[in-house]
Amino acid sequence: MLMMKTILIISTLNTKREETLYLKERVESLGLKALLMDISMRGDIAAEADIPPDRVAEAGGSRFEDISRSKDRARITNIVIAGASAIAKQLQTEGKIHGVTGMGGATGTLMVTDIMRALPFGHPKVMISSAAALPGLSTRYIGTGDIILFHSVIELSGLSDLLKNVFDRAACALGGMVQGNVTSPGTGKGKAIALAMLGPCDDCASRVQVELQKAGYQVIGFHAAGICDRAMEEMISQNFFQGVVDLAPGGVGENLFGFTRDAGPDRLESAGRIGIPQIISTCGVNHITPSKSRYTPDHRQRAKFDLDKFRTWLRISPDELKKVAQVFAEKLNRASGPVRIMIPLNGWSSVDLPGNPTYNPEEDRIFIEELRDKLNSEIQIVEVQAHMEDEAFAQAVVEGALEVF
């Protein structure tokens, strides 16, 4: 007999009791079990909650009575998120939930999506939000999570036929993911390799992917523009991959200087921490992308390359390039697995071409020499007399990867 699958529903029953119970009913009508988690921070504890707010508060290191009396909204919100995340993660690890959904406005969506991100890639997640389209917040809601953001359009209050329609569609979408024949991540044949890439090294990435697939590897690409490369680091830490080809680690410098491709403080660290082999290259490392609204007078004087009408890459300064090399060395020296650095001497991206305003291979040598000076002796730097997008460089990367993997 097949086990009935369970959906975790996260809501605030003190404000959305009627709406939450309707969603529970719809989930159960699909032949699924519903488990209600109440993350209310005020009001009476609802009898319908399977996981009541006092249990959530306790898991977050507090008491519901203290939370409900507190006027420090930011602090108690973080306590509830921590407690609910711990409970959800334990339920998922124990195989007791198979999908998660929740509902909320701006604050509710921030809280529930934070909780959802505690669950691993591949675990179905549907967030029903009246604030999904608020400018600047959708990225914050999703972050590095594989979350489906379902925009309700209307407020999640009062069970009109319109709102019932929203809940019905959301329940059916989640039900399809949980009950359907969905490929489980990490169950395919061949070792899985993470590949960090950007548009300016797309030709190289495509060639590397094809050749490694021919060699029996699964190659999973990540667009290294600040969000997906953060997600890559998280998934490496969760043991999704057995090796990394990092063609575009420019998010390290962006994090150092606080620019738009900032990939977080853990960039270039997860693979070394768990000891899997890495191939590292340099696409985007010699450019920076500060927001145009934050340009300093110095930025306005820099050599620049317009990728399109929205995005401009500025040439990094020699001093900045040296600092980035030092951070690279600091991170890679801590690696407990094999590391090989592959550097194309004739240009680090499609932006780096003779005649383009930011092309400066002489200054690029500053990075190479500083890196060589600061790296542990066992980490090999391979200089290739080719351009990043040349077939010869892609072949060198593939050969290096097959050696260290």
Q: What is the pLDDT of residues 383-405, one digit of tens each?
A: 999 999 999 999 999 999 999 99
Distance of CA 205 to the CA centre of its chain: 20
* Amino acid occupying residue 149: L
Length of the chain as a residue count: 405
> Domain limits of the chain?
6-179, 192-404
CA distance 38 to 80: 10
Tens-place pLDDT, residues 258-274: 888 999 999 999 999 99
CATH class of the region 6-179: alpha beta
For the entire predicted model, the pTM comes to 0.85
Residue 350, both tokens: 């499609």
Report how far residue 387's alpha carbon sits from residue 405's, in angstroms, rounded to the nearest whole number.
Answer: 24
Q: What is the mean pLDDT of the chain?
A: 94
Rounded average pLDDT over 37-43: 93
Q: How far apart are CA 290 and CA 299, in angstroms?
A: 8
Q: In the beta sheet, which residues pair with residue 148?
A: 126
Task: Please state which of the ranges 99-113, 171-185, 238-252 shows the lowest mean pLDDT.
Answer: 171-185
Question: Is the pLDDT confidence value at 24 over 80?
Answer: yes
Residue 305 in 3-state DSSP? strand
Q: Give, for 151, the enclosing helix (H) or strand (E).
A: strand 148-151
pLDDT at 188 over 60: no
42 in helix, strand or coil?
coil
> Cα separation of 198 and 248, whole Å?
6
pLDDT confidence of residue 365:
97
* pLDDT bucket at 277, cuts 50 / 70 / 90: very high
Containing 140, the helix (H) or strand (E) segment is helix 138-142
Q: Phi/psi at 404 (nearest 5 deg)? A: -85, -25
pLDDT band at 2 (very low <50, low <70, confident <90, very high): low
pLDDT value of position 134 = 83
Alpha helix positions (H), 30-135:
53-59, 64-69, 73-93, 106-116
Model pLDDT for residues 81-104, shown as the tens digit of each residue: 999 999 999 999 999 999 999 999
DSSP 331-344: HHHT-SS-EEEEEE
Query: Using 50, 70 and 90 to split pLDDT, how confident is the model at 189?
Result: low
142-169: per-residue pLDDT in tens?
Answer: 989 999 999 999 999 999 999 999 999 9
Tell me if 6-179 shares its fold with 192-404. Answer: yes
pLDDT at 138: 78
Q: How many whole angstroms separate alpha carbon 230 and alpha carbon 221?
A: 13
Predicted confidence at residue 186, as pLDDT, reads 67
97's CB contacts (< 8 A; 6+ apart) are 6, 7, 8, 35, 88, 91
pLDDT in tens, 202-256: 999 999 999 999 999 999 999 999 989 999 999 999 999 999 999 999 999 999 9
Please work out, in degrees rounded to the nearest 5, the angle formed at the alpha carbon of residue 44 by the alpha carbons of 38 and 50. 30
Please state, for a pLDDT cut of 90, what percent of the chain lies above it.
Answer: 84
CA distance 389 to 353: 10
At residue 47 the predicted structure's pLDDT band, cuts being 50, 70 and 90, is confident
Do residues 263 and 252 lie in contact, with contact meaning Cβ atoms separated by under 8 Å? yes
| Amino acid letter, 167 | F
Phi, psi angle pair for 349, to nearest 5°:
-170, 175
Helix (H, G, I), strand (E, B) or coil at 133: coil
Q: In the chain, pLDDT over 70 holds for what percent of residues? A: 98
Q: Tell whether the torsion through CA atoms of 312, 315, 319 and 323 is positive or negative.
A: positive
Q: How far is CA 155 from the centre of its chain?
A: 29
Structure tokens at 125: 């997640």
Q: Which two tokens mark 261?
A: 């491709």
Model pLDDT for residues 308-361, shown as the tens digit of each residue: 888 899 999 999 999 999 999 999 999 999 999 999 999 999 999 999 999 999
Contacts of 186 (CB under 8 A, 6+ apart): 122, 192, 240
Structurally, at CATH architecture level, domain 192-404 sits in 3-Layer(aba) Sandwich (3.40)
Question: For residue range 296-306, what is the model confidence (pLDDT) as tens digits?
Answer: 999 999 999 98
As beta bridge partners, residue 37 has 10, 51
Query: Which pLDDT does position 26 carry in this prediction?
Result: 97
Residue where the block lists tokens 């195989």: 95
